[in-house]
Amino acid sequence: MKHAGPNALDKAEPLLVELRRRAALKEISRGVFYRGSEAFLHFHEHGLELYADVRCARDFERFPATTTVERKALLRRVDSALADGSGAFSR
């Protein structure tokens, strides 16, 4: 599964806008978000499907992000990870 390219990210722009609203996240390149100095979220595409890899605890978990319902669920998971600190490594 390849990293999402410009066309896939164009289709996901409304989702990217929502992610950019999270003050704890910094978009270092289009569709690639960091929390502090750690990678937190990035996208992959497979055919017409879009997926987001989100850091949960120490590992990335893959979430579907193609449909509106999937994107809302993804944003809830992102917010949960940001709220409980699971989106960053414990040192």
Report if residue 90 sits inside a domain. no
Write out pLDDT tens, residues 18-77. Answer: 999 999 999 999 999 999 999 999 999 999 999 999 998 788 999 999 999 999 999 999
**Looking at the 3D structure of the chain, how many domains does it have?**
1
Nearest to 26 by CA among 41, 15, 12, 13: 41
Q: Is 76 left (phi over 0), alpha (psi -120 to 50) or beta?
A: alpha
pTM beyond cutoff 0.75? yes
Report if residue 91 sits inside a domain. no
Residues found in the chain: 91
Residue range(s) defining the domain that contains residue 8: 2-83
β-pair partners for 33: 27, 41
